[in-house]
Structure 1
């Protein structure tokens, strides 16, 4: 039997700490080892209890949750799940937290009652269990430098991942040239975060990045991010393809779905398709990888390095790639 996931809850509100701790304790296989009212107490409890995962409030007096997360990720990285307000400032803080390396960001319940936590309990439990043992990259790593222009070979790039892929996407897109391969992204972000992510990325990367819309032409030098909500995003035709929005049921609990995007890319582009699967911890994505490979496309995913030196990947990719070589591998696959 697998050992329980040990969680440390950090929030300046006594009520929120009690409600969140109570909710987490109802998840099988999860145990709350402590609750801290701020960064100082959290530091001591981390040393004392050695938690597998931390939940952290963004808005705290004294050292904010973002500042403490930055400290954690620069010093001794660990899996962290953030809680933030449902405001514009909260959205900006959530994206910054994901960029620093947080596993996910959840909106704080509008009312501090147990019933509000029940609404997010299934997804929260899934994220916490997947986060245990995850290799978390230090935020102190060097910043990506844009590559020189590429000689594009006509391949279409599709990317799928969880919210935890945000840091990797900043690194990847930061290394893309302005004439990067046309790129369509499905990322499982919370409502209201996609626009903020685009604004933040647009100020820092060379390619153009936009929110995907129905009927958009898919062009070189542009990254299309699927909006979370009521539609899936698919590719219609290749070359000279367009994006289409499909109002269909969620797949593996997700909409938009990575698998539906990948399957559409496989059908449209066949051997001219490249897929990249980042940080996907759920079922969504597996069927898409199979469809991509069956259609003649090529799919890569970050490799995991075990203690014995064996490199593997969980997602049946055509090739496992060390995380620090993802950008180089993508550019090579999409260049003449």
Structure 2
């Protein structure tokens, strides 16, 4: 039997610490090794308790959760899951936390009662278990430079990942030229975060980035981010394709689904499709990868040893792709 995931809970509220600790203890395979009221106590407990994962409140007096997260990711990175308020400022803080390297961000319950934590318990437990042992890197300080204009060969790109892929997506799209290939993204972000993600990214990257809507024509130079919530997103045809939003049941607990997007571009574009999976932590994405492979599409997936980066495959051919070469590899596949 696998050892339980050891979690350290950090929150300045005694009530929130007790409620979150109690909720986490109800998740099979998870044990709370301690709770801290702020950064100072968390530093000490981390040294003595050796947690696998930390939950961290964004808003704390003294050193804020974001400041402590930035310190950790610079000096001694570890998997961290953030909790933030359900406000516009909370959404901005959540995206910043993900950019710094947090695994995920969850909204704090509107009312501090156990029943509110129960609503997010399944997803939180899934994230915590996936976070144990996951490679974590600090935010990059080097400025990513956009590639020169693309001589586009007509290929379409689809990308899927968890909230933890935020840091990678900023780096990836920062390397895309303004006339990048049409790119559709399904990222498992929390409710209310997609718009903030787009606003933040739009100020830093050369291509246009928009929230995906039904009937949108796929155009060169545009990145389409699927909204979380009630529908899946698919590509209906290629070339001259459009986005379609499908109100179907969740797949592997997720909507929109990475697998449904990947399967749609494999069917529509075949060898003219490039799919990139940035490390989903559950079943969503696996079926999509198989569809890409069956459709003779190009498929980039994390190597079994995540520290080794990614693998690019098509038919039976495979080649390694370092994590810092993702943008260059995709652009090469999409260049004449």
Hey, what does 1:128 align to over in structure 2?
128
1:185 aligns with 2:185: yes
Instruction: Give structure 2 stretches of 5+ with no counterpart.
Output: none
Hey, what does 1:51 align to over in structure 2?
51
- What SS does structure 2 have at the residue aligned with 1:161? strand
Q: Is the 8 A contact 2:302 2:311 kept in 1?
A: no
Name the CA distance, whole Å, in 1 between partners of 2:10 and 2:320.
35
Which runs of structure 2 are paired with 1:27-42 in the superposition (5 Å)? 27-42=27-42
Hey, what does 1:164 align to over in structure 2?
164
- What SS does structure 2 have at the residue aligned with 1:301? strand
Q: Is the 8 A contact 1:9 1:54 kept in 2?
A: yes
- Distance verdict in 2 for CA 1:13–1:107, change over 3 Å: same
- Distance verdict in 2 for CA 1:109–1:315, change over 3 Å: farther
Instruction: Give structure 1 stretches of 5+ with no counterpart.
Output: none
Which runs of structure 2 are paired with 1:87-106 in the superposition (5 Å)? 87-106=87-106
- Distance verdict in 2 for CA 1:286–1:24, change over 3 Å: same
Alignment size in residue pairs: 333
1:315 deviates by 11
Tell me the alpha carbon deviations over residues 25-55 of structure 1, each in whole angstroms, 9 at most, x when there is no partner. Answer: 1111111111000011111111111111000
Name the CA distance, whole Å, in 1 between partners of 2:280 and 2:311.
9
Name the CA distance, whole Å, in 2 between partners of 1:137 and 1:108.
25
- Distance verdict in 2 for CA 1:315–1:259, change over 3 Å: farther
Hey, what does 1:173 align to over in structure 2?
173
Q: TM-score, normalised by structure 2?
A: 0.96
Q: Is the 8 A contact 1:304 1:322 kept in 2?
A: no
1:232 deviates by 0.5
- Distance verdict in 2 for CA 1:138–1:312, change over 3 Å: closer
Hey, what does 1:246 align to over in structure 2?
246
Tell me the alpha carbon deviations over residues 172-206 of structure 1, each in whole angstroms, 9 at most, x when there is no partner. Answer: 00111101111000000010000000000000000
Name the CA distance, whole Å, in 1 between partners of 2:249 and 2:311.
26
Tell me the alpha carbon deviations over residues 142-171 of structure 1, each in whole angstroms, 9 at most, x when there is no partner. Answer: 231111111111100000000000000000
1:312 deviates by 7.8
1:320 deviates by 4.6
Name the CA distance, whole Å, in 2 between partners of 1:150 and 1:316.
22
